[in-house]
A and B are shown apart, each in its own frame.
Chain A
Amino acid sequence: MKITVESAEAAVPVTILRLEGDLDATSYEQLIEAGKTAVASGASRILIDLRAVPYMGSSGLVALHSLALMLAGEAPPDPEGGWDAHHQMARSVEGGMQDRLRLCAAQPAVLRVLERTGMTRFIAVQDDEADALAAFS
Protein backbone atom coordinates (compact mmCIF):
# COMPACT_ATOMS: atom_id res chain seq x y z
CA MET A 1 0.00 0.00 0.00
CA LYS A 2 1.24 3.47 -0.86
CA ILE A 3 0.72 6.29 1.62
CA THR A 4 1.18 9.93 0.69
CA VAL A 5 1.30 12.60 3.37
CA GLU A 6 0.06 16.14 2.79
CA SER A 7 -0.73 19.15 4.91
CA ALA A 8 -3.91 21.17 4.70
CA GLU A 9 -5.16 24.21 6.52
CA ALA A 10 -8.71 24.13 7.74
CA ALA A 11 -9.93 25.66 10.98
CA VAL A 12 -6.90 23.83 12.34
CA PRO A 13 -3.91 22.28 10.61
CA VAL A 14 -4.80 18.87 9.22
CA THR A 15 -2.50 16.10 8.03
CA ILE A 16 -3.95 14.18 5.12
CA LEU A 17 -2.92 10.56 4.60
CA ARG A 18 -3.79 9.45 1.08
CA LEU A 19 -3.88 5.68 0.86
CA GLU A 20 -3.54 3.72 -2.35
CA GLY A 21 -4.12 -0.02 -2.36
CA ASP A 22 -5.77 -2.61 -0.16
CA LEU A 23 -5.82 -2.11 3.62
CA ASP A 24 -5.54 -5.65 4.94
CA ALA A 25 -3.52 -7.79 7.31
CA THR A 26 -0.36 -7.12 5.28
CA SER A 27 -0.62 -3.35 5.14
CA TYR A 28 -2.41 -2.16 8.28
CA GLU A 29 0.81 -1.83 10.25
CA GLN A 30 2.12 0.48 7.57
CA LEU A 31 -0.83 2.81 8.24
CA ILE A 32 -0.14 2.67 11.97
CA GLU A 33 3.48 3.63 11.35
CA ALA A 34 2.42 6.50 9.12
CA GLY A 35 0.17 7.70 11.90
CA LYS A 36 2.95 7.45 14.46
CA THR A 37 5.23 9.49 12.23
CA ALA A 38 2.57 12.13 11.66
CA VAL A 39 1.80 12.47 15.37
CA ALA A 40 5.50 12.57 16.25
CA SER A 41 5.81 15.40 13.72
CA GLY A 42 3.13 17.37 15.51
CA ALA A 43 -0.07 16.31 13.77
CA SER A 44 -3.16 16.77 15.94
CA ARG A 45 -5.80 16.12 13.27
CA ILE A 46 -5.63 13.50 10.53
CA LEU A 47 -7.87 13.00 7.53
CA ILE A 48 -7.53 9.68 5.74
CA ASP A 49 -8.40 9.75 2.05
CA LEU A 50 -9.80 6.35 1.10
CA ARG A 51 -10.73 6.99 -2.54
CA ALA A 52 -7.97 4.71 -3.80
CA VAL A 53 -8.62 1.91 -1.30
CA PRO A 54 -10.71 -0.77 -2.99
CA TYR A 55 -10.63 -3.15 -0.02
CA MET A 56 -10.42 -2.88 3.77
CA GLY A 57 -10.36 -5.85 6.09
CA SER A 58 -10.86 -5.97 9.83
CA SER A 59 -7.13 -5.34 10.32
CA GLY A 60 -7.79 -1.90 8.88
CA LEU A 61 -10.13 -1.19 11.78
CA VAL A 62 -7.27 -1.88 14.18
CA ALA A 63 -5.13 0.63 12.33
CA LEU A 64 -7.83 3.31 12.33
CA HIS A 65 -8.46 2.85 16.02
CA SER A 66 -4.75 3.04 16.73
CA LEU A 67 -4.51 6.35 14.91
CA ALA A 68 -7.48 7.74 16.85
CA LEU A 69 -5.86 6.77 20.13
CA MET A 70 -2.52 8.27 19.16
CA LEU A 71 -4.21 11.53 18.27
CA ALA A 72 -5.92 11.50 21.66
CA GLY A 73 -2.54 11.13 23.33
CA GLU A 74 -3.15 7.55 24.33
CA ALA A 75 -0.92 4.58 23.66
CA PRO A 76 -2.26 2.48 20.80
CA PRO A 77 -2.88 -1.19 21.49
CA ASP A 78 -0.36 -3.75 20.38
CA PRO A 79 -1.51 -4.62 16.84
CA GLU A 80 -0.83 -8.25 17.64
CA GLY A 81 -2.67 -7.99 20.92
CA GLY A 82 -5.71 -9.87 19.66
CA TRP A 83 -8.68 -9.50 21.92
CA ASP A 84 -6.92 -7.00 24.14
CA ALA A 85 -6.79 -4.63 21.19
CA HIS A 86 -10.44 -5.15 20.48
CA HIS A 87 -11.48 -4.59 24.08
CA GLN A 88 -9.55 -1.35 24.06
CA MET A 89 -11.42 -0.32 20.94
CA ALA A 90 -14.70 -1.00 22.68
CA ARG A 91 -13.78 1.28 25.56
CA SER A 92 -12.88 4.01 23.11
CA VAL A 93 -16.11 3.73 21.22
CA GLU A 94 -18.13 3.92 24.41
CA GLY A 95 -16.89 7.48 24.56
CA GLY A 96 -18.72 8.21 21.32
CA MET A 97 -17.59 10.03 18.21
CA GLN A 98 -14.09 11.41 18.34
CA ASP A 99 -13.11 14.34 16.15
CA ARG A 100 -9.37 14.14 15.62
CA LEU A 101 -9.46 11.48 12.93
CA ARG A 102 -11.82 11.61 9.96
CA LEU A 103 -12.21 9.58 6.79
CA CYS A 104 -13.33 10.65 3.36
CA ALA A 105 -14.23 9.22 -0.02
CA ALA A 106 -14.69 5.64 1.13
CA GLN A 107 -15.63 3.26 -1.68
CA PRO A 108 -18.91 1.36 -1.16
CA ALA A 109 -17.29 -1.90 -0.03
CA VAL A 110 -15.07 -0.06 2.44
CA LEU A 111 -17.97 2.03 3.75
CA ARG A 112 -19.93 -1.19 4.26
CA VAL A 113 -17.15 -2.58 6.48
CA LEU A 114 -17.10 0.60 8.53
CA GLU A 115 -20.87 0.55 8.95
CA ARG A 116 -21.18 -3.17 9.62
CA THR A 117 -18.69 -2.95 12.49
CA GLY A 118 -20.07 0.24 14.02
CA MET A 119 -16.89 2.16 13.30
CA THR A 120 -18.94 4.99 11.81
CA ARG A 121 -20.20 5.76 15.32
CA PHE A 122 -16.60 6.46 16.34
CA ILE A 123 -14.99 7.93 13.24
CA ALA A 124 -16.89 10.23 10.87
CA VAL A 125 -16.84 9.33 7.18
CA GLN A 126 -17.62 11.96 4.60
CA ASP A 127 -17.89 11.65 0.84
CA ASP A 128 -16.19 14.91 0.08
CA GLU A 129 -12.68 15.85 1.19
CA ALA A 130 -13.50 19.54 1.43
CA ASP A 131 -16.46 18.81 3.69
CA ALA A 132 -14.30 16.57 5.85
CA LEU A 133 -11.63 19.25 6.22
CA ALA A 134 -14.26 21.86 7.06
CA ALA A 135 -15.65 19.63 9.77
CA PHE A 136 -12.45 19.64 11.83
CA SER A 137 -12.47 22.00 14.76
Chain B
Amino acid sequence: MREMSHGKGEAIPTARAGSGDATPWLTLRLPAASLDDLRTIRDFVGRGSRQLGADESCVADLIQAVDESATNVIRHGYGGSPGPLDIEIGREGASVKVELRDQAPGFDPRDRPEPDLRRPLEAREPGGFGVHLTRVCVDQIDHSYLTPAGNQLTLIRRADSTAQEGPS
Protein backbone atom coordinates (compact mmCIF):
# COMPACT_ATOMS: atom_id res chain seq x y z
CA MET B 1 0.00 0.00 0.00
CA ARG B 2 1.35 3.36 -0.87
CA GLU B 3 0.18 6.86 -0.22
CA MET B 4 1.33 9.65 -2.41
CA SER B 5 1.39 13.36 -2.06
CA HIS B 6 -0.52 15.00 -4.89
CA GLY B 7 0.19 18.48 -3.75
CA LYS B 8 3.22 20.64 -4.17
CA GLY B 9 5.84 20.70 -1.47
CA GLU B 10 4.14 18.13 0.67
CA ALA B 11 6.21 15.15 1.74
CA ILE B 12 4.15 12.19 2.78
CA PRO B 13 5.68 9.11 4.40
CA THR B 14 5.02 6.04 2.37
CA ALA B 15 5.61 2.37 2.98
CA ARG B 16 7.33 0.43 0.26
CA ALA B 17 5.81 -3.00 -0.14
CA GLY B 18 8.33 -5.78 0.36
CA SER B 19 11.20 -3.49 1.20
CA GLY B 20 11.77 -5.12 4.57
CA ASP B 21 12.78 -1.72 5.83
CA ALA B 22 10.59 0.04 8.35
CA THR B 23 12.05 3.46 7.53
CA PRO B 24 9.37 5.30 5.61
CA TRP B 25 10.02 6.68 2.17
CA LEU B 26 8.97 10.20 1.35
CA THR B 27 7.25 11.06 -1.89
CA LEU B 28 6.79 14.30 -3.74
CA ARG B 29 4.47 14.14 -6.71
CA LEU B 30 4.40 17.05 -9.14
CA PRO B 31 1.77 16.49 -11.84
CA ALA B 32 2.99 19.52 -13.79
CA ALA B 33 6.55 20.22 -12.70
CA SER B 34 8.13 23.43 -13.91
CA LEU B 35 11.33 25.27 -13.09
CA ASP B 36 9.33 27.19 -10.47
CA ASP B 37 9.15 23.93 -8.51
CA LEU B 38 12.93 23.59 -8.15
CA ARG B 39 12.95 25.31 -4.75
CA THR B 40 10.21 22.98 -3.55
CA ILE B 41 12.18 20.02 -4.83
CA ARG B 42 15.39 21.13 -3.09
CA ASP B 43 13.56 21.74 0.18
CA PHE B 44 11.93 18.32 -0.05
CA VAL B 45 15.27 16.59 -0.62
CA GLY B 46 16.90 18.58 2.18
CA ARG B 47 14.18 17.81 4.73
CA GLY B 48 13.83 14.24 3.64
CA SER B 49 17.51 13.36 3.64
CA ARG B 50 18.01 14.91 7.09
CA GLN B 51 15.02 12.99 8.37
CA LEU B 52 16.63 9.83 7.04
CA GLY B 53 19.82 10.50 8.97
CA ALA B 54 22.07 11.87 6.22
CA ASP B 55 24.94 14.08 7.31
CA GLU B 56 25.10 17.63 6.00
CA SER B 57 27.57 16.82 3.25
CA CYS B 58 25.26 14.10 1.97
CA VAL B 59 22.29 16.45 2.24
CA ALA B 60 24.07 19.11 0.18
CA ASP B 61 25.18 16.61 -2.45
CA LEU B 62 21.72 15.12 -2.83
CA ILE B 63 20.15 18.55 -3.12
CA GLN B 64 22.64 19.41 -5.86
CA ALA B 65 22.21 16.13 -7.73
CA VAL B 66 18.43 16.18 -7.63
CA ASP B 67 18.20 19.85 -8.57
CA GLU B 68 20.46 19.32 -11.57
CA SER B 69 18.60 16.18 -12.63
CA ALA B 70 15.16 17.74 -12.21
CA THR B 71 16.28 20.83 -14.11
CA ASN B 72 17.38 18.65 -17.00
CA VAL B 73 14.09 16.73 -17.01
CA ILE B 74 12.03 19.90 -17.04
CA ARG B 75 14.21 21.93 -19.37
CA HIS B 76 15.30 19.29 -21.85
CA GLY B 77 13.06 16.28 -21.28
CA TYR B 78 9.87 18.29 -21.35
CA GLY B 79 11.28 21.08 -23.47
CA GLY B 80 10.48 23.64 -20.80
CA SER B 81 6.78 22.76 -20.66
CA PRO B 82 5.32 21.43 -17.41
CA GLY B 83 5.33 17.66 -17.09
CA PRO B 84 4.84 15.00 -14.41
CA LEU B 85 7.73 14.37 -12.04
CA ASP B 86 7.70 12.08 -9.02
CA ILE B 87 10.53 12.13 -6.51
CA GLU B 88 10.92 9.54 -3.78
CA ILE B 89 13.60 9.45 -1.12
CA GLY B 90 14.38 6.68 1.33
CA ARG B 91 17.05 4.72 3.11
CA GLU B 92 18.77 1.73 1.58
CA GLY B 93 21.15 0.35 4.13
CA ALA B 94 23.88 2.88 4.77
CA SER B 95 22.81 5.02 1.83
CA VAL B 96 20.07 7.42 0.94
CA LYS B 97 18.36 6.65 -2.32
CA VAL B 98 16.43 9.12 -4.45
CA GLU B 99 14.30 8.09 -7.41
CA LEU B 100 13.09 10.55 -10.03
CA ARG B 101 10.40 9.38 -12.43
CA ASP B 102 9.23 11.34 -15.45
CA GLN B 103 7.30 10.79 -18.65
CA ALA B 104 9.75 12.56 -20.95
CA PRO B 105 11.51 10.98 -23.94
CA GLY B 106 14.19 8.50 -22.97
CA PHE B 107 17.40 10.05 -21.63
CA ASP B 108 20.10 8.11 -19.82
CA PRO B 109 22.62 10.56 -18.31
CA ARG B 110 25.15 7.76 -17.99
CA ASP B 111 25.50 7.78 -21.76
CA ARG B 112 26.82 11.30 -21.74
CA PRO B 113 30.61 11.62 -21.73
CA GLU B 114 32.31 13.34 -18.87
CA PRO B 115 33.33 16.88 -19.65
CA ASP B 116 37.11 17.24 -19.82
CA LEU B 117 37.92 19.29 -16.75
CA ARG B 118 41.26 20.30 -18.17
CA ARG B 119 38.93 22.47 -20.21
CA PRO B 120 36.62 22.75 -17.26
CA LEU B 121 33.60 24.41 -18.75
CA GLU B 122 33.21 22.24 -21.82
CA ALA B 123 30.12 20.13 -22.17
CA ARG B 124 29.01 18.35 -25.27
CA GLU B 125 25.35 18.35 -24.42
CA PRO B 126 22.89 20.83 -23.02
CA GLY B 127 22.83 20.32 -19.31
CA GLY B 128 26.30 18.79 -19.49
CA PHE B 129 27.51 20.38 -16.31
CA GLY B 130 24.34 19.38 -14.58
CA VAL B 131 25.08 15.77 -15.45
CA HIS B 132 28.69 16.18 -14.34
CA LEU B 133 27.69 17.68 -11.00
CA THR B 134 25.19 14.90 -10.46
CA ARG B 135 27.89 12.30 -11.06
CA VAL B 136 30.37 13.80 -8.61
CA CYS B 137 27.75 14.30 -5.92
CA VAL B 138 26.51 10.74 -5.64
CA ASP B 139 28.05 7.29 -5.34
CA GLN B 140 25.85 5.53 -7.87
CA ILE B 141 23.50 6.47 -10.68
CA ASP B 142 21.06 4.01 -12.20
CA HIS B 143 18.67 4.63 -15.04
CA SER B 144 15.83 2.68 -16.53
CA TYR B 145 13.31 3.42 -19.22
CA LEU B 146 9.71 3.29 -18.12
CA THR B 147 6.78 1.76 -19.99
CA PRO B 148 4.98 3.17 -21.88
CA ALA B 149 7.21 6.25 -21.67
CA GLY B 150 9.58 8.05 -19.40
CA ASN B 151 12.64 7.55 -17.27
CA GLN B 152 13.49 6.53 -13.75
CA LEU B 153 16.73 7.98 -12.47
CA THR B 154 18.06 6.53 -9.22
CA LEU B 155 20.67 8.38 -7.21
CA ILE B 156 22.41 6.67 -4.29
CA ARG B 157 24.66 8.43 -1.84
CA ARG B 158 26.11 7.14 1.45
CA ALA B 159 24.43 8.88 4.35
CA ASP B 160 27.68 9.16 6.31
CA SER B 161 30.19 11.06 4.20
CA THR B 162 33.12 9.77 6.22
CA ALA B 163 32.25 6.20 5.27
CA GLN B 164 33.99 4.59 2.32
CA GLU B 165 32.23 5.24 -0.95
CA GLY B 166 30.10 2.35 -2.07
CA PRO B 167 30.24 0.64 -5.47
CA SER B 168 29.49 2.83 -8.47
B119 contacts A83, CB within 8 Å? no
Assess whether B60 is in contact with A109, with CB atoms less than 8 Å apart: yes
User: B121, B126, B133, B136: which contacts A82 (Cβ < 8 A)?
Assistant: B126
In the complex, B67 has a CB within 8 A of chain A: yes
Contact of B129 among A22, A61, A93, A122 (CB under 8 A): A61
Q: A83-B126, A86-B129, A117-B133 are in contact. Are A92 and B63 (CB under 8 A)?
A: no
**Least distance between A107 CB and chain B CB atoms (Å):** 10
Residues 85 to 122 of chain B near chain A (Cβ within 8 Å): 115, 117, 119-122
> Is A109 touching B64 in the complex (CB atoms < 8 A)?
yes
A61 to B63, alpha carbons, bound, how many Å? 17
Distance between A10 CB and nearest chain B CB, rounded to angstroms? 27
Please give the distance in Å from A67's CB to the nearest CB on chain B: 14
Chain A interface residue bracket vs B:
20 to 34
Cα–Cα, bound, A89→B122 (Å): 6
Give complex CA distance A119, B120 in Å: 7
**Could you list 17 examples of A-B contacts with CB < 8 Å?**
A24-B38, A25-B71, A26-B36, A57-B38, A57-B68, A57-B133, A58-B127, A58-B133, A90-B120, A90-B121, A90-B122, A116-B136, A117-B120, A117-B133, A119-B120, A119-B121, A121-B120
Chain A residues with Cβ below 8 Å from B125 are 82-83
Majority DSSP secondary structure for residues of A touching B: helix
Contact A59 B119 (CB under 8 A): no
Given the known A-B contacts A26-B35, A55-B42, are A83 and B71 also in contact in the complex, defined by CB atoms under 8 Å? no
**In contact, A112 and B60 (Cβ under 8 angstroms):** yes
Among A58, A90, A116, the residue within 8 A (CB) of B119 is A90
Say yes or no: A89-B121 contact (C-beta < 8 A), given A25-B38, A109-B60: yes
CA distance A48 to B49 in the complex (A): 30
Report B117-146 CB contacts with A as 1/0, cut-off 8 Å: 101111111111110110010000000000
Q: A94 to B35, Cβ gap below 8 A?
A: no
B39 at the interface (CB under 8 A from A): yes
Chain A residues within 8 Å of B50, by CB: none
Neighbour of A86 across the interface among B35, B36, B123, CB < 8 A: B123
In chain A, positions 5-48 with a C-beta closer than 8 Å to chain B are 22, 24-26
Interface digits, A68-91 against B, CB 8 Å rule (1 contact, 0 not)?
000000000000001100110110
Nearest-neighbour CB distance to chain B for A31, whole angstroms, equals 15
Once the chains are docked, how many angstroms separate the CA of A65 from the CA of B132? Answer: 17
Cβ contact within 8 Å between B136 and A24: no
Task: Give complex CA distance A4, B127 in Å.
Answer: 29
Q: Does B75 belong to the interface (CB within 8 Å)?
A: yes
Q: Cβ of A87 and Cβ of B122 under 8 Å apart? A: yes
> Counting chain A CB atoms within 10 Å of each CB, which of B71, B121, B133 scores highest?
B121
Taking a contact as CB atoms under 8 Å apart, the answer to whether B71 and A57 are in contact is yes
Q: How far is the CB of B47 from chain A (nearest CB, A)?
A: 14
Q: Which residues of A contact B117 (CB under 8 A)?
A: 117-118
